[in-house]
Structure 1
Amino acid sequence: MNRTHPKKIAIFGGSFDPPHLGHLEVIKKALQSLDIDKLIVVPAYISPFKKGHSAPPQLRFEWLKKITAFDPRIEVSDIEIKKGGPSYTIDTVNHFSEIFDTIYLIIGADNLESLHRWHRFDELNRKVKWVVATRNGEKIPEGFIRLEVKMPISSTKLRRNIVPEWIPEPIREEVLQYYSKHTKENRD
């Protein structure tokens, strides 16, 4: 079959609650170092390993679209948001494997310890090339591609203490307003 679409993609999924400069750095490094035609950012409706998210899915999706508009090779997909419920990576990979030939799956090094517990891990492991974004020079198992990111920041830490400089400029004010109001409501 002769395909006219890109054949090699990377998928970068997560909560992105909120999106921050570390996420952008992962995206930029992936575009620079991986042999891909497209990078698809997939915000989860809800992660199977979390009880919920602070910001609603559609808002996180819109934020991601705003901060990734700088490169036409980046697509923000709402596949998991439209599906609703827990987001399983294997379902997302299966969807995109019907369209693309090669799939790199970008994960954070903090996921390595629990990777074997991911839904249908063995099937997922056969279908993707693993890319691990590291923040602190963590050891990466053989067979995984290292993506060194020099920004030791996490969305969890940001939700506890919003540091404006870590939020991308196009969404900074929105994110600051949202989380300051949300955090205040949770304290009241």
Structure 2
Amino acid sequence: METTTKKRRIGIIGGTFNPIHLGHLMIAEVAYEEFELEQVIFVPTHISPHKFHDVISAYHRYAMTAAAVEDNPHFTISDVEIKRDGYSYTIDTIRYFQEQMGPDVEFYFIAGTDTIELLPSWHYIDELLQLCHFIGAMRPDAKEMVDSVLEFFGEKAIGRIHLLQVPEMKLSATYLRERLRAGKTVRYMLPKCVVDYITNNNIYTDVDSTSVLHTEHTN
């Protein structure tokens, strides 16, 4: 009797991570557990085709992401998109990991609600839906939007776009950058190692760097 080998499941979470925050990490952790992933690979973009305003250098974004995932044994990071010239397209990244890991791996691209909304405009999206699964982290107010995306793809979405219920965390990188520039606390919003990196490198703010440091370490 022929036995079927269960494929390994690898999660990929891409983004500008400008900066990486606890919302990104929480979504990746819940997806890891719910979909029985072997690991989750964080892939900071070089130049995103969707986000190009107010984006700091890839060097800093990679360094912050690496620091944020270092203490989690099933999280890792890849610089594949940063090393690639031009825009970062997910289709190229998935093809790269397929080539590296072989045919016995299923890839699950982890995305937030805003990313799922943009899927119809993605580069080579029909091929992507064949090459990998999508895990969409759901906001409570996003059901109507997600339903419209699923309707757009029709049968192509069946078994390929999965919805993930996560604890509500209304964090955005834009909101955090605004707080950092205003010298306001980001405690419990960013990992401490990321705050330390931002402070030490004077990123996102022109105010005295000690103001951000102070708000992070006040008991």
> Scaled by the length of structure 2, what TM-score is found?
0.74
Q: When the two structures are aligned, how many residues end up with a matched partner?
A: 177
8 Å contact from structure 1 (residues 15, 53) kept in 2? no
Shift of 1:150: 1.7
Query: Match of 2:91, SS?
Result: helix
Task: Please identify runs of 4+ aligned residues in structure 1 that moved more than 4 A.
Answer: none
8 Å contact from structure 1 (residues 134, 149) kept in 2? no
Q: Distance in 2 between matches of 1:54 and 1:45?
A: 10
Shift of 1:173: 2.6
The residue type paired with residue 83 of structure 1 is R
Equivalent residue for 2:94? 93
* 5+ long unaligned stretches in structure 2: 1-6, 151-157, 208-219
Equivalent residue for 1:169? 192
Equivalent residue for 1:42? 43
Q: Which has the higher contact order (CA 8 A, sep 6+)?
A: 1
Equivalent residue for 2:116? 112
Equivalent residue for 2:162? 145
Q: Distance in 1 between matches of 2:131 and 2:167?
A: 25
Identify which range, 57-66 or 143-152, moves more after superposition.
Answer: 143-152
* 5+ long unaligned stretches in structure 1: 1-5, 183-188
Q: Distance in 2 between matches of 1:114 and 1:59?
A: 26
Shift of 1:112: 2.4
Q: Distance in 2 between matches of 1:127 and 1:62?
A: 29
Structural RMSD (CA): 2.0
Structure (1 or 2) with the larger CA radius of gyration = 2
